[in-house]
Amino acid sequence: MADTVTTNALIIYNAREIDGGLFTCASYDMPGMASVHVTIHAEPNLEPMADFILTDGEGFVLTCLVVPPIPSGNMYWNKNGILIGTTGLHDIDGDRSPDGEILTNGSLVIYEADKNDAGIYTCLLRYVVNRRSETILRNINVNVAVEVTVKEYIKLGSPLYQPIQIACTAYGFPVPEVAWMSKNFTLGSDGYWGRDISVTTQTHSPISVTSTITIGDLPGTFAMASVTCDANNFFSNASQLSLIIKFGTITD
The span from the CA of 100 to the CA of 112, in Å, is 8
**Section 96-101 average pLDDT:** 87
Q: Which DSSP state fits 50?
A: P
What CATH number does domain 45-144 carry, 3.30.499.10, 1.10.1060.10, 3.40.50.360, 2.60.40.10? 2.60.40.10
Structural domain boundaries in the chain: 45-144, 151-246
105-138 pLDDT, tens digit per residue, is 999 999 999 999 999 999 999 988 778 888 999 9
Above 50 in pLDDT, residue 252?
no
Above 90 in pLDDT, residue 42?
no
Among 78-82, 156-160, 242-246, name the one with the lowest average pLDDT: 156-160
198-221 pLDDT, tens digit per residue, is 898 999 999 999 999 988 766 655
* Percent of the chain scoring above 90 in pLDDT: 43
pLDDT band at 35 (very low <50, low <70, confident <90, very high): low
Give me the DSSP letters along 72-84.
S-EEEEEETTEEE
Q: Which residue has the higher pLDDT, 235 or 18?
A: 235
> Does 176 sit behind a cis peptide bond, omega within 30 degrees of 0 on the bond before it?
no
**Section 62-68 average pLDDT:** 92
The span from the CA of 152 to the CA of 22, in Å, is 71
Give, in degrees to the nearest 5, the angle at Cα 77 between 67 and 170: 120
With contact defined as beta carbons under 8 Å apart, do 192 and 198 qualify?
Answer: yes
Above 50 in pLDDT, residue 251?
no
The span from the CA of 62 to the CA of 121, in Å, is 9
Q: Is there a common fold for 45-144 and 151-246? A: yes
Three-class SS of residue 99?
Answer: coil
Please give the model's pTM, rounded to 2 decimal places: 0.75
Fold of the domain built from segment(s) 151-246: Immunoglobulin-like (2.60.40)
Distance from chain centroid for Cα 39: 38
